[in-house]
A and B are shown apart, each in its own frame.
Chain A
Amino acid sequence: MQTAAVSEASIWWLSQGWFLLGGALLVIAASLSLRQWGDSLIRAYRPQRLTLGSPDELVPPTGALRRFTPGVVRIFSNAPMLAGLVITGFLLVAFVVPGVLAPYGPEETGKTLQLIRGKITARPFPPSPPYPMGTDMRGRDLLSRILFGTRQTLTICLAVAALRLAIGIILGGISGWKGGMIGQQILSLGTVSASIPSLLFAFVFILAIGPSHGFGVFLLGLGLTGWAELTNTINAAVRWVKSQRYIEGALAIGSTPGHIARRHLLPNIMPQLLPAVSLEISAVLLTLGELGFLGIFIGETFYGYVPQTIRTLTSTEWAGMLAGTRLSLFQWPWLPLSPALAFLVAILGLNLLAMGLRTYLDPMQSRLRN
């Protein structure tokens, strides 16, 4: 049975597998153009009691003007926030109800031979109208598998980020509030932890214990490093809040520590905390992808005769899809590139969200240009 060669470069470059990346760039461009519109919206909401020095419409709305504008309106003048919200919203939908977005089921295989772009083609099928991101060796649609895998991938990321956040809040809070000797020791512990690249640590840790133990190994391997930056951020934020007069006042009227933490500390470190959490999730995603590329992932495979005897993945996790596809690059480039693009889009979305949140939550700060 003779089959046509499918891995022509032109097909790949022009294929529709790029629509995820293209869509992300389109969202960014659209929100950049929407910014003008958002600025005029903010001006429309300008309360009459605020009179600015000059009615110069070219000056972007900053400071007090931004502070008195409703939050929903301010999102529209914040391009990164808008783009990040769209991408993370998409991820969230895929997290909760992947079946709504996915064209096929995660384990659904079509016919063995199909007519694609006028050629009779064997599995794996290249990116083409029936399969937007191509299929794997068993003929399962990669886009559907990526969408169904969002839940598994993001669950790991959120768990690891939660562990890092817990470590960061405890250590950063103590070092920021107490300061002194303990604070210095904690910060230098963070410096030591930061000097170990988290990919190296995770790699050695997970291989030493064995990746077959599953979720827990990955949680610890990824979560025990990488908290240093978060600790430093929280430490600086807490130190800044502690030096404010309202904390002095709260202490003077005899507020309990719990009350101070809830009423004063937490709301005031939020503008630093929320973007840091978003960045942390994306950092975990990146490390997870690199581990998967090296062949370490959560999930099971079995060896079976498909066209030849090959490894088949039974879970739909992105890192697993990336694993072992290195040498398929020249023959079937969509096998490694499709999950890698999914990683890029998710990381891009989370970082844009962080960038937008930083501007959005800090009304005193002048808006970010670009």
Chain B
Amino acid sequence: MFVLVSFFSFAALDQPVLRQLYTSLAMVGTSSVSLFHFLTNFSEVGDRLANVGLAYLRSMVLLLLSVALGSGMGLLLGFAAGMRPNSPQATAVSAVSFVGVLTPSFLTSLFVMLAFVRYISPAVGIRFILLSPSVSVFDFRRLLAPAIVLAVRPLAYVTQVTIGALQEVIYTDHVRTARAKGLPPRVVLSRHVLRNVALPVLTSINSSFYFSLSSLLVVEWLFNWSGIGLQLLEAVSKRDAETASYLLVSVGLTMLLINTAVKIAMRHIDPRVAESESVIS
């Protein structure tokens, strides 16, 4: 009960309705989100926005790299395992990918960090993990470890989905016909199988972005990569509501953009998706 009361007072929901309305209308003029505030306090807001933009850029580099790495390798692994679904290797791959999807990101990042610091850095002679903040921004060496951590879950998930989709597709009639016609396996794969597998794989890449975005907080904090997640952490613990809201909005917009892009791509791949959507709405 106490929690509810404190939440309501935090969100100003315990005020009378008219007071709430007045406050929110007054906020439009004075809040930092408004255009007026932006124009009058240009440099301050601009600084903050530039910071957020830089953090966003850093996070996006990390995110895109990890998802591209993960889904590319996942596709290869999934095809390797899915073409022979009953072999022991395929069973092993799907079992490992099942565990990989479920491994919490903090556990993966602890293992990766341990491996880098104990084995890889001494062997190669490069310090991949630098925990002091005073290091140059786009340092590829610092990007590698968090990208590997974030790539694990997309890798496992895309592998799982690819194996599942292939199991359904390779036993369908049109693939059997194509094989019976004597087409070489490469042509069957590229022309008859790939297009049907593309749809579930694309959906899985979409959810991989979601996975990676949600574990960005933990991974950036652990590896001291000053992106959206770390900035949000700092902003929330410093009670800097403006920066926090900019960051949250940028996360939401990114999710929305990725969703839309995937939907458009799905329409191009499979016209049936467009048809079914137009029937519903």
A10 vs chain B, min Cβ distance (A): 11
Chain B stretch 206-243: residues in CB contact (< 8 A) with chain A? 210, 213-215, 217-218, 221-222, 232-233, 236-237
Counting CB contacts under 8 A, is B110 at the interface? yes
Complex interface: chain A residues within 8 A of B30 (CB): none
Q: Which residue of B has the minimal Cβ distance to A285? A: B104
Task: Check if B118 sits within 8 Å of A9, measured CB to CB.
Answer: yes
Binds B, one of A120-128, A306-314, A328-336: A328-336
Complex interface: chain B residues within 8 A of A286 (CB): 104
Chain A stretch 324-356: residues in CB contact (< 8 A) with chain B? 326, 329-330, 333, 336-337, 340-341, 343-344, 347-348, 351
- Type the 1/0 row for B156-199, where 1 means its CB is closer than 8 Å to any CB of A: 00000000000100000000000000000000000000000000
User: Which one of B6, B94, B113, B232 contacts A329 once the chains associate, using CB atoms below 8 Å?
Assistant: B113
- A295 and B123 CA atoms in complex are apart in Å by 33
- A198 and B211 CA atoms in complex are apart in Å by 11
Task: Check if B218 sits within 8 Å of A293, measured CB to CB.
Answer: yes
Counting CB contacts under 8 A, is A196 at the interface? yes
B14 vs chain A, min Cβ distance (A): 14
Counting CB contacts under 8 A, is B99 at the interface? yes
B220 vs chain A, min Cβ distance (A): 11
A216 vs chain B, min Cβ distance (A): 3
Complex interface: chain B residues within 8 A of A220 (CB): 3-4, 7
Complex interface: chain B residues within 8 A of A196 (CB): 248, 252
Counting CB contacts under 8 A, is B204 at the interface? no
Instruction: Find the residue from B4, B114, B255 having the highest chain A CB count within 10 A.
Output: B114
Decide yes or no: A208 and B215 within 8 Å by CB, A326-B222, A348-B102 being known contacts: no
Complex interface: chain A residues within 8 A of B251 (CB): 197, 200
Task: Check if A294 sits within 8 Å of B213, measured CB to CB.
Answer: no
Task: Check if A344 sits within 8 Å of B104, measured CB to CB.
Answer: yes
Chain A stretch 121-166: residues in CB contact (< 8 A) with chain B? none
Task: Check if B114 sits within 8 Å of A333, measured CB to CB.
Answer: yes
A208 vs chain B, min Cβ distance (A): 6
User: Which one of A203, A289, A293, A340 contacts B236 once the chains associate, using CB atoms below 8 Å?
Assistant: A203
Task: Check if A369 sits within 8 Å of B85, measured CB to CB.
Answer: yes
Q: Which residue of B has the minimal Cβ distance to A197? A: B214
Complex interface: chain B residues within 8 A of A9 (CB): 118-119
Task: Check if A204 sits within 8 Å of B248, measured CB to CB.
Answer: yes
- A207 and B237 CA atoms in complex are apart in Å by 7
Complex interface: chain A residues within 8 A of B10 (CB): 208-209
Chain B interface SS verdict (over half): helix
- Type the 1/0 row for B77-92, where 1 means its CB is closer than 8 Å to any CB of A: 0000000011000110
Chain A stretch 188-211: residues in CB contact (< 8 A) with chain B? 195-200, 203-204, 207-210
Counting CB contacts under 8 A, is B34 at the interface? no
Task: Check if A344 sits within 8 Å of B103, measured CB to CB.
Answer: yes
Interface size of B as a range:
35 or more
Chain A stretch 73-114: residues in CB contact (< 8 A) with chain B? none
Task: Check if A213 sits within 8 Å of B103, measured CB to CB.
Answer: no
Counting CB contacts under 8 A, is A217 at the interface? yes
Task: Check if A213 sits within 8 Å of B3, measured CB to CB.
Answer: yes
- Type the 1/0 row for B1-21, where 1 means its CB is closer than 8 Å to any CB of A: 111101100100000000000
Q: What is the count of residue pairs linking A and B with beta-carbon distances less than 8 angstroms?
A: 108
Complex interface: chain A residues within 8 A of B214 (CB): 197-200
Counting CB contacts under 8 A, is B244 at the interface? yes
Task: Check if B3 sits within 8 Å of A322, measured CB to CB.
Answer: no
Q: Which residue of A has the minimal Cβ distance to B229? A: A200
Complex interface: chain A residues within 8 A of B91 (CB): 32, 370
Task: Check if A344 sits within 8 Å of B102, measured CB to CB.
Answer: yes
Complex interface: chain B residues within 8 A of A198 (CB): 214
Task: Check if A204 sits within 8 Å of B114, measured CB to CB.
Answer: no
Counting CB contacts under 8 A, is B106 at the interface? yes
Q: Which residue of A has the minimal Cβ distance to B247? A: A200
Counting CB contacts under 8 A, is B95 at the interface? yes
Complex interface: chain B residues within 8 A of A289 (CB): 104, 106
User: Which one of A204, A329, A343, A348 contacts B99 once the chains associate, using CB atoms below 8 Å?
Assistant: A348
Counting CB contacts under 8 A, is B59 at the interface? no
- A198 and B90 CA atoms in complex are apart in Å by 33
Task: Check if A209 sits within 8 Å of B6, measured CB to CB.
Answer: yes
B281 vs chain A, min Cβ distance (A): 9
- A220 and B237 CA atoms in complex are apart in Å by 19
A327 vs chain B, min Cβ distance (A): 8
Task: Check if A293 sits within 8 Å of B106, measured CB to CB.
Answer: yes
Q: Which residue of A has the minimal Cβ distance to B90? A: A370
Complex interface: chain B residues within 8 A of A362 (CB): none
A318 vs chain B, min Cβ distance (A): 11
Complex interface: chain B residues within 8 A of A337 (CB): 107, 110
Task: Check if B95 sits within 8 Å of A344, measured CB to CB.
Answer: no
Complex interface: chain B residues within 8 A of A207 (CB): 236-237
Task: Check if B104 sits within 8 Å of A195, measured CB to CB.
Answer: no
Complex interface: chain A residues within 8 A of B233 (CB): 203, 294
- A136 and B118 CA atoms in complex are apart in Å by 22
Task: Check if A290 sits within 8 Å of B85, measured CB to CB.
Answer: no
- A53 and B2 CA atoms in complex are apart in Å by 66
Q: Which residue of A has the minimal Cβ distance to B119? A: A9
Counting CB contacts under 8 A, is B71 at the interface? no
- A215 and B53 CA atoms in complex are apart in Å by 36
Pairs A–B under 8 Å by Cβ, sample size 8: A204-B236, A209-B10, A286-B104, A293-B218, A294-B217, A326-B222, A329-B113, A351-B98
Measured CB to CB, the residues of B under 8 A from A are 1-4, 6-7, 10, 85-86, 90-91, 94-95, 98-99, 102-107, 110, 113-114, 117-119, 167, 210, 213-215, 217-218, 221-222, 232-233, 236-237, 244, 248, 251-252, 255-256, 259
Closest 5 CB pairs of A and B: A197-B214, A216-B3, A340-B107, A293-B106, A195-B255
Question: Given contacts A195-B252, A337-B107, could you give 12 more A-B pairs where the C-beta distance is less than 8 Å?
Answer: A28-B95, A195-B256, A196-B252, A203-B233, A203-B236, A204-B248, A216-B3, A219-B3, A290-B105, A330-B118, A333-B110, A336-B110
